[in-house]
Structure 1
Amino acid sequence: MAPETLTPERILEATEEVLRRYGPAKATVVDVARALGVSHGSVYRHFRTKTALREAVTARWLDRTSQQLSVIVSDEGPADDRLRRWLAALFEAKRHKAGDDPELFATYMTLIGESGGVVDRHVTDLESQLTTIIEAGVSEGTFHTPSPASTAHAVFSATGRFHDPCYAPEWSHPGITADFEAVRDLILRGLQA
């Protein structure tokens, strides 16, 4: 049987497993290559540096959230409902990442600290999604704001406690869902005519 073709996606999958097993301090490109059964030079043909590989795996991890949320952005239906669902889905996605695999979450928090540009692109994407929903609400006459982009930035900042990883220890506290719903409902009331 012929070996599988080495693709960036296969490398990123293996990298995630190596990071899960060894953590960011000990995981090496050689470990990734060994997991794939190839030379480390083969990995470097796809990712020129260890930093590039770590940034790519971090972007892949963050993009999973963006992709889940983009479905809500493109859904039919009233903008206020989509904004309500989008904010709830962002909170749930981040909470699951932190709670379902705490070791991998801690690993990614280390990588995110090394990959500022990746995080900036992620935040820009999320704020762009919010802008799209808010613009739809303005077009429907449901939301009123002179600047949907500025409002999206404000909404993202105002809900930071429910998606910024620095708040992850709070996400399992009793009452956090009620706190989230109160902030979300306040934002929605503030946007309405």
Structure 2
Amino acid sequence: MGRKKTSELDAAVTRQGIVETAEQLFRAVGYAKTTVADIAKALGMSPANVYRYFPTKAAINEAICDRLVHSIEVKSWAAAGEEGTATERLTRFVIAYHTIIISSIIKEKRLYDMVAVAMDEHWAVVKQHSYRMCDYLCIILEQGMAAGEFRKVDGSKMAITIHEALAVFLYPSLLEHRVNEDDGRGTILDDLRALLDLLLHGLCANA
């Protein structure tokens, strides 16, 4: 039994090493230009050994993107914090997410390419990410309703509605067009705040 646990731990460590090394290469060289052989060489192992853990290069990228979106979620939720009204917390959560996407993906072309591939080839990762985002929004909405700040609504359905309304400000493939259209004027964040204000006003119990 001890050997099995050690073997599973070794496998997990090896998988993590492959993912981390591949991400470094994808960021430095580009997803399209990096081969499994390149990843194996950087790790000092054979391509066949890499394929023992990941069937394709795309599968490695899927693991990278899954880890990336989890990291973004954690940072955004931390920005929401526990202090303040539900309106303030929801605003901080969304603004933080938007800001992280702009700074870490939109402005880093090679990372954007990785995410774009994942959205095309690994929709499950994106879908699960969307579900978790709606869960976070639902938590804040239900806290706001419990405090009498928001009017009574179906929290789950409203979270989906808000998520879909904000999608153009949150998802790289949509946000990229807004960034290009912005032309350095810095109006995107203002537009996001205006939309949030409209959505939150509609939720206000005293509206």
TM-score, normalised by the number of residues in structure 2:
0.82
Structure 2 residue ranges without an equivalent (≥5): 1-9
CA contact (8 A) 1:19 1:104 kept: yes
- Report what 1:98 is aligned to: 105
Q: CA deviation at 1:150?
A: 0.6
* Residue 123 of structure 2 corresponds to residue 109 of structure 1: no
Match of 1:42 among 49, 64, 89: 49
* Residue 13 of structure 2 corresponds to residue 13 of structure 1: no
Question: Which structure has the higher relative contact order (CA within 8 Å, separation 6+)?
Answer: 1
Structure 2 letter corresponding to 1:41: A
Q: CA deviation at 1:146?
A: 2.3
Distance 2:165 2:192 in 1: 11
Distance 2:50 2:116 in 1: 23
Cα shift readout 1:131-185 (whole Å, capped 9, x = no counterpart): 1111111111111132001100111111112112223132361211211111011
CA contact (8 A) 2:134 2:159 kept: yes
Equivalent runs, 1:123-162 vs 2, <5 Å? 123-162=130-169
Match of 1:178 among 159, 175, 190: 190
Q: CA deviation at 1:73?
A: 5.3
CA contact (8 A) 1:55 1:115 kept: yes
Structure 1 residue ranges without an equivalent (≥5): none
Structure 1 letter corresponding to 2:125: V
- Report what 2:32 is aligned to: 25
Distance 1:50 1:140 in 2: 48
SS at match of 2:194: helix
Q: CA deviation at 1:74?
A: 5.8
Q: Structure 1: which 4+ aligned runs deviate by more than 4 Å?
A: none
TM-score, normalised by the number of residues in structure 1:
0.88
Identity rate, percent: 30
Distance 1:46 1:74 in 2: 37
- Report what 2:78 is aligned to: 71
Moved more, 69-78 or 109-118: 69-78
Q: Please report the RMSD computed on the Cα atoms of aligned residues, expressed in angstroms.
A: 2.0
| Residues 72/141 of structure 1: CA separation in 2 closer, same or farther (3 Å cut) | farther
